[in-house]
Amino acid sequence: MTKRAVCVSALIGLMVVLSGCADVPVYKRGNLAKPEMAWSPDPMEAALQKHIYFAKEASSGGAEAAGGGCGCN
């Protein structure tokens, strides 16, 4: 990378860091709570997919928290 590219990348990174998380006004928070904004809109389908995954992998845990399925923690 050239010196200019490094400086531009650092400047863009600094702008992103300084911008931080945008404060969402109260009147707009309802839009973020819509079901289609969820990571998994159907909780039953997500639970079924997790069950299938862990049954195939022969382990459990580790999807949401630290630790694996070995039982050593």
Structure tokens at 50: 């997790």
Residue 26 lies in a domain: no
CA distance 10 to 25: 30
Give me the number of domains the chain comprises: 1
pLDDT value at residue 5:
86
Residue 50 lies in a domain: yes
Give the chain's mean pLDDT. Answer: 73
pLDDT value at residue 71:
55
Residue 1 lies in a domain: no
Positive or negative CA dihedral for 53, 71, 44, 33?
Answer: negative
Residues spanned by the domain of 57: 38-63
- pLDDT, tens only, 3-36: 888 888 888 877 777 776 667 777 777 777 777 7
pLDDT value at residue 63:
58
pLDDT value at residue 54:
77
% of residues, the chain, pLDDT over 70: 71
Please answer whether residues 57 and 68 qualify as being in contact, where contact means their C-beta atoms are separated by less than 8 angstroms. Answer: no
Structure tokens at 61: 């845990």
Q: Please give the model's pTM, rounded to 2 decimal places.
A: 0.34
